[in-house]
Amino acid sequence: MLVLRPLLLCLLFVLPVLAVQAETLHDWVDSLGSADTAQKRDLLEKIAASGDPNTDKIFDAVSRGALYLDRRSDTVVLAERKGARYVLSNVMTGEELGTAGRRDVRRIAIDNSLRSELQSLQAIAQLSAADPAVREEAIAEILSAPTPSALSALAARKSLEPLPALQDQIAVGLALQTISGEDAEGVSAALVTLKGRVDPIVRAALQDLASRENLPQSVRGEATNLLALAENRLLWLGRLESLFFGLSLGSVLLLSAVGLAITFGVMGVINMAHGELIMLGAYTTWVLQQLLPSQPGLALLLAIPAAFLVSATVGFVIERGVIRFLYGRPLETLLATFGISLILQQAVRSIFSPLNRSVLTPEWLAGSWEVTQGLSLTYNRMAILLFSLLVFAGLLCLMRYTRLGLQVRAVAQNRAMARALGVRSARVDAMTFALGSGVAGVAGVALSQLTNVGPNLGQAYIIDSFLVVVFGGVGNLWGTLVGAFSLGVANKLIEPAVGAVLAKILLLVFLILFLQRRPQGLFPRTGREESH
């Protein structure tokens, strides 16, 4: 008897534990068949918190009214009516369980109050999903319509969430829920989590908190300080973003102007058709995408050499057919190239129609990199910035380390001496003009990722290109680089304060005043000016 008594006491403690452990998701589902509304709510909360991957199927069946109690086996099944019979299947595995008559099954109904909570309960269940996107959506769903049970589940999930970004989303969401309450200590603790956040939702919540009279002045003052900190941080992030857009604009100006710097610097030709050569490069990109509709990324890569060849060929024809007869007559050259630009525009309108064309952005250039909240850098602009620097580096290497580059530099510095040494200056002029035109075509490929392709595409950049070349120093590649990025950054930093139009006017006035003091630009060309 003395031995049996301890054993009985052990059984009294162990049996309830075993009973709890024996409860499974299947048991909770079967219990729905005989539960009232309150019990159903408790059972669905347990199912949601179980973390089982089958919970989505269960909640989907509940919301559709597809859960039935099979009276013959006293189990809950999925049932689909076909005629006078019901086709039964297992709720979690989908295994077919035969058919049943109308008297053999009873639908598990839920009232409107429980139905309104289903979405929140399903979101709780999805907090344990394997897909991070599903978890992120579940967190947003809970925070948009919070319930006490959902917030408790979210708080429990915070330490289990493996992704730092989702941990941060949970922490901020819970903090926002806390500061909407009246517990001063809880609100003060939650404000620590929100420090440095610049989200519009957070700033709106802090602004509301700072104006609430039912909280101590210390808490409201802390909210005011955090709001001022967020606004100041947002201001600096906006300036950094403007700097990035300025560098992006500078890279576009560099691509469009560096070809002009070569032709203008070596040949002294004011090529008003340079913008149309950029346009031809953009249209080459669009044509290749039409030929490869399912591979926009490959079409874009192929467009780089293709656009160079197309624009270079057209530039070579222009130089051989028109410009070589007009050397030494700058006004006539300007008028002739202006006429060529109109011819090219009309040719494009006749071939492709005057409507703008849209070039697709490949997946690897779409989207943006969020450096921090309030500062996002788009991939296409970062790619164009890197691409422009690569093109510039390639031109520097060509000018410094190739025979053509040596001859171009010789002709630019002293044409007569270069001729005396056997350099065929006419051939160098043709190749130089083709090179500058080809680089303009490559610029068109980059511009096709920022704007629509149309007959007037090049007109928006021709004036800015000339300004960059003159500001940097005619014929100097480094001057073109510095001039392009200086004007691009200055334009984007001034623009938020005075507007886009006035910013361009101010820059133009600055350039006029600068050239009055330094007519040869930032980096004057060395060597003697020679005529053809």
> What pLDDT digit, counting tens, does each position of 493-531 carry?
888 778 878 888 888 888 888 888 888 877 776 544 444
User: Is residue 532 one of the residues assigned to a domain?
Assistant: no
Looking at the fold, whether 101 and 182 belong to one and the same domain comes out as no
**More confident call, 15 vs 71:** 71
Domain co-membership, 105 together with 209: no
CA distance 427 to 423: 9
pLDDT above 70 as % of the chain: 91
- The verdict on residue 369 lying in a domain is no
Comparing 34-43, 354-363, 479-488, the range with the smallest average pLDDT is: 34-43
Do 332 and 419 sit in the same domain of this protein? yes
- 7 confidence band (pLDDT: 50, 70, 90): very low
Percent of the chain with pLDDT over 90: 12
Are residues 97 and 176 part of one domain?
no
Q: Is residue 367 part of a domain?
A: no
Structure confidence at residue 150 (pLDDT):
73
pLDDT at 6: 43
Q: Are residues 157 and 290 in the same domain?
A: no
Residue 391 lies in a domain: yes
Is residue 27 over pLDDT 90? no
199 and 273 share one domain: no
Sign of CA dihedral 14, 15, 18, 19: negative
**Dihedral Cα 375, 381, 384, 390, nearest 10 deg:** 0
Residues 45 and 176 placed together within one structural domain of the fold = no
Asked if 67 contacts 107 with a C-beta cutoff of 8 angstroms, the reply is yes
Q: What is the pLDDT at residue 376?
A: 81
Mean of pLDDT values over 285-313: 91
To the nearest 10°, report the CA torsion of 428, 432, 435, 440: -160
Residues 315 and 420 in one domain: yes
Answer yes or no: do 135 and 160 share one domain: yes
Q: How far apart are CA 293 and CA 287, in angstroms?
A: 10
More confident residue, 155 or 258: 258
Question: Which has the higher per-residue pLDDT, 135 or 345?
Answer: 345
Would you say 289 and 296 are in contact if contact means Cβ atoms under 8 Å apart? yes
Q: Is the pLDDT of residue 275 over 80?
A: yes
Task: State which residues form the domain around 418.
Answer: 251-345+384-517
Residue 265 confidence (pLDDT) above 80: no
Three-class SS state of 88: strand
Task: Provide the pLDDT for residue 47.
Answer: 77
Q: Residue 99 CB: number of other CB atoms within 10 A?
A: 16
Per-residue model confidence as pLDDT tens digits over 371-381:
877 788 888 88
Residues 96 and 135 reside in one and the same domain: no
Please state, as a whole number, how many other Cβ atoms lie within 10 Å of the Cβ of residue 141.
18
Q: How high is the pLDDT of residue 307? A: 93
Q: What is the rounded CA–CA span in Å between residue 218 and residue 222?
A: 6
Q: Is residue 94 part of a domain?
A: yes
Mean pLDDT of the chain, nearest integer: 80
Give the up-direction half-sphere exposure of residue 45: CA atoms within 13 A in the CB hemisphere. 15
Of 473 and 320, the one with more pLDDT: 320
Count structural domains, the chain. 3
Closest CA to 531 of 272, 256, 333, 321: 333
Looking at the predicted structure, is the pLDDT value of residue 20 above 50? no
Look at residues 215, 241, 267 and tell me which one is the last residue of a structural domain.
Answer: 215
Binning pLDDT at 50, 70 and 90, where does residue 284 land?
A: very high
Which of 269, 218, 308, 301 lies closest to 411 in space, CA to CA?
Answer: 269
E strand or H helix at 77: strand 75-82
Query: In whole angstroms, what is the distance from residue 504 CA to residue 526 CA?
Result: 30
| pLDDT at residue 12 tops 50 | no
Q: Is the pLDDT of residue 80 over 80?
A: yes
> In this structure, how many other beta carbons lie within 10 angstroms of the beta carbon of residue 210?
18
Decide if 455 is inside a domain: yes
pLDDT the model gives residue 112: 67
* Burial class, 313, CB count within 10 angstroms (exposed 0-12 / middle 13-18 / buried 19+): middle
| Cα–Cα dist 38/44, whole Å | 10
Domain boundary among 195, 215, 235: 215
| pLDDT value for 8 | 40
Q: Residue 174 pLDDT > 50, yes or no?
A: yes
- State the pLDDT at residue 113: 66
> Mind listing the pLDDT tens digit for each residue in 208-252?
887 877 778 888 888 888 888 888 888 888 888 888 888 988 888
Place of tokens 């007569």: 416
Of residues 247 and 268, which shows the higher confidence score?
A: 247
- Lookup: tokens for 406: 């040596």
Residues 433 and 331 in one domain: yes
The answer on 422 and 313 residing in a single domain is: yes
d(CA 126, CA 132): 10
Compute the average pLDDT of residues 473-489. Answer: 85
pLDDT of 470 above 80: yes
Residue 314 in any domain: the answer is yes
| pLDDT tens, position by position, 31-58 | 777 777 777 777 777 777 776 767 777 7
For residue 33, give every residue at least 6 positions away whose Cβ sits within 8 Å of its Cβ, in sequence order, or none: 69, 74, 75, 76, 106, 108
Residue 9: burial class (beta carbons within 10 Å; 0-12, 13-18, 19+): exposed
- What is the pTM (predicted TM-score) of this model? 0.70
Q: Report yes or no on 374 lying in a domain.
A: no
Residue pair 283/345 in contact by the 8 Å Cβ criterion: no
- Kind and range of the H or E run holding 420: helix 415-420
pLDDT of residue 1: 45
Average pLDDT on 142-154 reads: 73
Lowest mean pLDDT among 82-86, 129-133, 354-358: 129-133
N-terminal to C-terminal alpha carbon distance within the chain = 125
Where residue 277 falls among pLDDT bands split at 50, 70, 90?
very high
Among 215, 232, 263, which residue terminates a domain?
215
Q: What's the rounded Cα separation, in Å, for the pair 103 and 416?
A: 108
